[in-house]
């Protein structure tokens, strides 16, 4: 009896080339017209970063200041070539376009998966096609994958250093992602007794050291967004942050909200997100099952996002940053995934 597979339509070489050309053309048109197509909320980050580049107090890098530090990175390029913001958005869009094409070409050995790969890269491209903070970790993730083809040790070393540095100067939760990835590494390579000890140690630390109120991030962020027409997908934790049991229940609720948003609102956006999360999750756990280690990074990234993401749009944008780990894994020959997934 054949196992059920997600969209396994046979694709020959010529159909694959045709689809790649169509995807390339559509994405290029999008880069050119994105300012006319997308709502203004998609450009909040790019406008903020671009305004900071010409700010008078932009003079030194600071810990945990993602907007200013991102502006500092872009600043030499923007000031050396004084183009309009739309032109720099186009250049960043080209970088994102190249990343997507790299992912597609790397997966040419699994041509039948072009449908899935196109689907998974779509939000990655939409959210990374302009000046933004997310293009930096996206590039780091691609470099990790390239290094992994050369040396696993080099890839792991670069991952640990880059995620720690990025977390230190841009987004703190990347340090948590790093720590959780290491925990997953230990978990996957340990016996049942060691796993039990890990759970006991983790629960003990959480109960003794961690204040449950620090998990109130989502509610604090969304308290100022009630009634905002651009924030209709926000949600609040249903239980007070009084103890770790309620924190766990809130976490489970967050997973439900991001995995099955159609239960709360039935629109094309929610249908897309539900399909996207289920598809990404399906292939992610396929990769974890065969111990493809970059998938551990994406799993940790996903798990950390569930702690604090305030709305569905932010969740999808940040989740898509790690999707190259899944796409690359689908075509990784050494793991013999060409026919098994």
The 10s digit of each residue's pLDDT in 48-69 is: 888 888 776 666 677 777 888 8
Tell me if 269 is assigned to some domain: yes
Quick check: pTM over 0.85?
Answer: yes
Tell me if 8 is assigned to some domain: no
Sign for the pseudo-dihedral over CA of 243, 249, 252, 257? negative
Instruction: Let me know: does 129 contact 89? Beta carbons within 8 Å.
Output: yes
**What is the pLDDT at residue 8?**
52
Tell me if 340 is assigned to some domain: no
Instruction: Let me know: does 61 contact 74? Beta carbons within 8 Å.
Output: no
How confident is residue 341, by pLDDT bands cut at 50, 70 and 90? very low
Tell me if 155 is assigned to some domain: yes
Number of structural domains the chain divides into: 1
Domain that holds residue 29: 13-335
Instruction: Let me know: does 269 contact 279? Beta carbons within 8 Å.
Output: no
Instruction: Report the distance separating Cα 198 and Cα 171, nearest Å.
Output: 26
Count of alpha carbons within 13 angstroms of residue 115, beta-carbon side: 10
Instruction: Let me know: does 144 contact 294? Beta carbons within 8 Å.
Output: yes
**What is the pLDDT at residue 11?**
65
**What is the pLDDT at residue 251?**
92
Torsion of CA 197, 281, 153, 169, to 10 degrees: -90
234 phi/psi in degrees, rounded to 5? -70, 160
**What is the pLDDT at residue 335?**
47
Tell me if 341 is assigned to some domain: no
Using DSSP, state whether 311 is helix, strand or coil.
strand
State the maximum Cα–Cα separation within the chain, in Å, rounded to a whole number. 67
Tell me if 49 is assigned to some domain: yes
- Provide the β-strand partners of residue 234: 311
Mean predicted confidence (pLDDT) in 185-201: 82
Tell me if 1 is assigned to some domain: no
Instruction: Report the distance separating Cα 115 and Cα 121, nearest Å.
Output: 10
pLDDT digits (tens, 9 = 90+) for 66-109: 888 888 888 877 777 777 778 888 888 888 888 888 888 877 67
Please report the beta strands in 50-208, taking only residues with DSSP state E, as ranges in sequence order: none
Instruction: Let me know: does 187 contact 198? Beta carbons within 8 Å.
Output: yes
From the list 177, 107, 113, 168, the residue with the least C-alpha distance to 141 is 177
Tell me if 5 is assigned to some domain: no
């Amino acid at each position: 009896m054949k196992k059920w597979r997600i969209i396994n339509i046979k694709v020959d070489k010529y159909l694959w080339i045709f689809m790649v050309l169509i995807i390339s053309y559509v994405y290029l048109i999008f880069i050119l017209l994105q300012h006319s197509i997308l709502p203004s909320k998609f450009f909040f980050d790019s406008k903020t970063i671009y305004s900071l580049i010409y700010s008078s107090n932009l003079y030194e890098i600071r810990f945990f200041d993602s907007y200013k530090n991102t502006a500092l990175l872009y600043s030499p390029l923007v000031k050396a070539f004084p183009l309009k913001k739309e032109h720099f958005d186009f250049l960043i869009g080209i970088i994102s376009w190249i990343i997507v094409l790299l992912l597609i070409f790397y997966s040419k050995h699994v041509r039948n998966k072009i449908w899935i790969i196109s689907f998974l890269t779509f939000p990655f491209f939409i959210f990374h096609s302009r000046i933004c903070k997310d293009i930096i970790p996206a590039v780091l993730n691609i470099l990790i994958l390239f290094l992994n083809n050369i040396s696993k040790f080099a890839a792991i070393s670069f991952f640990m250093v880059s995620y720690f540095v990025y977390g230190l100067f841009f987004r703190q939760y990347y340090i948590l992602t790093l720590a959780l990835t290491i925990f997953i590494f230990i978990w996957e390579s340990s016996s049942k007794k060691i796993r039990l000890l890990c759970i006991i140690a983790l629960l003990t630390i959480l109960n003794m050291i961690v204040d449950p109120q620090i998990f109130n991030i989502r509610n604090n962020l969304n308290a100022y967004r009630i009634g905002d027409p651009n924030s209709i997908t926000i949600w609040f934790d249903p239980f007070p942050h009084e103890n770790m049991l309620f924190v766990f229940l809130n976490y489970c609720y967050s997973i439900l909200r991001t995995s099955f948003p159609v239960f709360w609102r039935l629109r094309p956006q929610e249908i897309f997100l539900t399909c996207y999360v289920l598809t990404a999750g399906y292939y992610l756990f396929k990769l974890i099952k065969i111990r493809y280690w970059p998938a551990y990074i994406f799993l940790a990234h996903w798990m950390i996002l569930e702690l604090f993401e305030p709305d569905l749009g932010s969740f999808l944008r940040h989740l898509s940053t790690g999707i190259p780990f899944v796409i690359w894994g689908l075509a990784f020959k050494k793991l013999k995934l060409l026919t098994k997934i």
